[in-house]
Amino acid sequence: MCGIVGYIGDKKAVEFLIEGLTKLEYRGYDSAGIAVNCGLNIFVEKAVGRLDALKEKLKNREPEGNIGIGHTRWATHGRPSDSNAHPHTDCSGKFVVVHNGIIENYMALKEDLISRGHKFISETDTEVVPHLLEELYNGNFLESVQKVLNKIEGSYSLVFMSKDNPDTLICAKQDNPLVVGLGKGENFIASDIPAIISKTRDTYILNDGEIAVVKKDSVKIFNRKGEPVGKKIFHVSWNAEAAEKGGYEHFMLKEINEQPKAVRDTMSKRILKDDSAVILEELNWDKKFLDDINKIYIVACGTAYHAGLVGKFYIEKLARKLVEVDLASEYRYRDPIVDENTLVIVISQSGETSDTLAALKESKRLGAKTLAVTNVVGSSIAREAEFVIHTWAGPEIAVASTKAYTTQLILMFMLALYMAEIGKTISPERTKELIDLLKKIPAQISETLSDVDPIKTFARQYGFNEDVFYIGRSLDYDVALEGALKLKEISYIHAEAYASGELKHGTLALIVEGVPVIALATQKSVYEKTLSNIKEVKARDAVVIGIAAEGDTELEKYLDHVIFVPNTDELLIPLLAVVPLQLLAYYAAITRGCDVDKPRNLAKSVTVE
Ligand code: M6R
């Protein structure tokens, strides 16, 4: 995820900029850059790759100025490159901007600016911002920035620097973090606290809609209407390690809590303004393209494979196309029946998983059309596939995948809707209904995350059991598989997921008194059947924890413990039902004293076979 730093004071800005960006390296990035106001001109330098590449470019030519901004970029719009790296400038080189987030209406703004003679050099959404400032500048820096903010839609933390205002940085926040660090005779700006805590622990944490005018001796904050905001200083007491995790004990917990934003970002710009359709500009498929496809494979590993299982359900249900899901490590040696009428969809958070990459290459060799769903722009899988759609989850650092899974589900859902719209297998009314519900999911995930105490209690109670079973039918079974994987990989508890209907074909023999069973019962279409399976395990004296949708009054009659998630369409409920399972795994691992972020024997990116 992108990182932002800014400095204004009496020292050489470049020193803090590089130090601050180094502190943000843990967040992941693919390029970096700085800009320093040197009086006569604004010095800008950027480099694709690690910070060392930028440092190398700065050797023996470090700018002297005392006001500057810097950025590490995690590519979303446009591949990692020098020209796509931030800071971005206007045509005159007088205005410079760094940005985290997504400018949703950048295409329309860009076209308009081009028609007014502006020249763009990058593929990014951000570049419209300095050009807009150039266009709207009236001699008053703050007023002009406010005008820019009124024109842009989307999410951002932005820092603006202007050659003609060498005593001021202006920053603004909407849906992305931004903090101003208060020094003596100097002030700092950062997207994240780790960048500044070696300099100061006194900060203003900006809220959405706020703009800060930062000078070396003062910081003034305004709201959307331009009214001054009286803000309390937030004193940071975290140590450097805790600060990297945003105050959470582990990256996994931080990433679980980032899901509302990750999911919202992944949806953004992909829904038509009137909520009537999904738009996947990256694909541009038409009816003929879809009609020519007679078989779809989804191929992936681990959690991404589980997302693929849900994806199969979505595509079959909505787009009425037959889908097979395969583990990449099996598929590549299966001699798969694939030709030019096959669409192979590979899902991979990292975009580097060796088995998935090999499966993709094999599919291409056999002539298939290929689509990658990945979180990393410019990754091997993104480069190899014919089509790519990105999840915008930001970097996932914990080995256990959480926000990658939910964003993959979002994209698979949107892909299925997109295909259904083209193939006319869904009515406009149903599309609208699903899109309305989809847009509520981020808030519903937040709601699910707000009540963790019962989950902590269960984890403490059952965290020392050696076996845990997960059961469910239909989409609940797919989510059960993911829940069991989470528990296995970070708590080392033996966990197995079973399709509830399969219990009596073998597994029921393992269900004895006191064995914990997590029973998912969110799918209305199979609810009665699910209930009778739950009764089967309950009758064997298992300890059953139910996961149900709010409004379910039945399950509690039979079970001692039920965790409720907000109600929505049964297609979308996996996005909510998985959250308590992630938390259960997390707290079970804590109970057992496991190394949550780096479980034994596992690596984040599996680049070997
Ligand atoms: O980067 P990928 O999505 O291709 O990774 C696939 C699996 O290695 C990954 O999902 C793994 O199963 C996770 N550790 C699960 O939490």
- Report yes or no on 609 lying in a domain: no
Whichever domain contains 197, its CATH number is 3.60.20.10
349, 391, 596: residue to mutate for ligand 1 pocket, most atoms within 8 A of CB: 349
Residues 431 and 453 in one domain: no
Residue 553: inside a domain, yes or no?
yes
Counting every residue written for the chain, the total comes to 609
What confidence tens digit (pLDDT) does each residue in 250-264 have?
Answer: 999 999 999 999 999
What is the atom index within ligand 1 of the atom nearest the CA of 302? 12
Are residue 277 and residue 395 in the same domain, yes or no? yes
Q: Pick from 191, 210, 244: which residue ends a domain?
A: 244
pLDDT over 80 at 298, yes or no: yes
Is residue 42 in a domain? yes
> Ligand 1 centroid to 238 CA: how many Å?
30
Is-contact 586 252, C-beta < 8 A?
yes
Question: How many Å lie between the centroid of ligand 1 and the Cα of residue 32?
Answer: 27
- pLDDT band at 244, cuts 50/70/90? confident
Q: Tell me, what's the pLDDT at 148?
A: 97
- Res 1: pLDDT: 64
Nearest CA, atom 14, ligand 1: 400
Separation of CA 305 and ligand 1 centre (Å): 8
Ligand 1 atom closest to residue 303's alpha carbon, by position in its atom list: 10
Co-location of 184 and 275 in the same domain: no
406 and 260 housed in the same domain: yes
Same domain, residue pair 58 and 202: yes
pLDDT digits (tens, 9 = 90+) for 424-483: 999 999 999 999 999 999 999 999 999 899 999 999 888 778 899 999 999 999 999 999
Total domain count, the chain = 3
- The predicted-structure confidence for 17-42, as pLDDT tens digits, reads as follows 999 999 888 777 889 999 999 988 99
| pLDDT, average across residues 132-160 | 96
The yes-or-no answer on residue 171 being catalytic is: no
Q: CA-CA distance, 412 to 391, in Å (whole number)?
A: 10
CATH at 508: 3.40.50.10490
Q: What is the reported pLDDT for 106? A: 93
Adjacent-strand bridge partners of 342: 295
In a domain, 95, yes or no: yes
* Residue nearest atom 12 in ligand 1 by C-alpha distance: 302
Give the span between the Cα atoms of 599 and 583, in whole angstroms. 16
Cα–Cα nearest to 83, from 129, 127, 18: 127
Of 225, 244, 263, the one marking the end of a domain is 244
Q: How far is the CA of 597 from the centre of ligand 1 (A)?
A: 13
Asked if residue 212 and residue 261 are part of one domain, the reply reads no
pLDDT of residue 77: 77
Which of 211, 244, 277 lies at the terminal end of a domain, its last residue?
Answer: 244
Residue 18 belongs to some domain of the structure:
yes
Same domain for 427 and 470, yes or no, is no
The rounded percent of the chain whose pLDDT value lies above 90 is: 82
**Mean pLDDT, the chain, integer:** 93
Substitution candidate for ligand 1 out of 401, 595, 607 with most atoms within 8 A of CB: 401
In angstroms, the Cα distances linking 548 to 25, 472, 532 are 40, 11, 15
One domain for residues 303 and 417: yes
Ligand 1 centre distance from Cα of residue 329 (Å): 13
**What is the span of the domain harbouring residue 7?**
3-244
**359, 331 contact by CB (below 8 A):** yes
| pLDDT band, residue 194 (cuts 50/70/90) | confident
Statement: residue 609 has pLDDT above 70: no
pLDDT (mean) for 177-191: 95
Cβ(482)–Cβ(489) under 8 Å?
A: no
Q: With a cut of 70, say whether residue 608 has pLDDT above it.
A: no
- Residue to mutate (ligand 1; options 252, 298, 301; most atoms within 8 A of CB): 301
Residue among 57, 295, 524, 604 flagged as catalytic? 604
Residues 424 and 459 in one domain: no
Tell whether 600 is covered by a domain: no
Burial 370-382 (b: 16+ CB within 10 A, else e): bbbbbbbbbbbbb
The answer to whether residue 91 is catalytic is no
Name 319's Cβ contacts closer than 8 Å, sequence gap at least 6: 290, 416, 419, 420, 423, 425
**Has residue 19 been placed in a domain?**
yes
169 and 202 housed in the same domain: yes
Pocket of ligand 1 (CB under 6 A): 301-304, 348-350, 353, 356, 399-401, 485, 489, 605-606
Q: Are residues 343 and 466 in the same domain?
A: no
Asked if residue 454 and residue 434 are part of one domain, the reply reads no
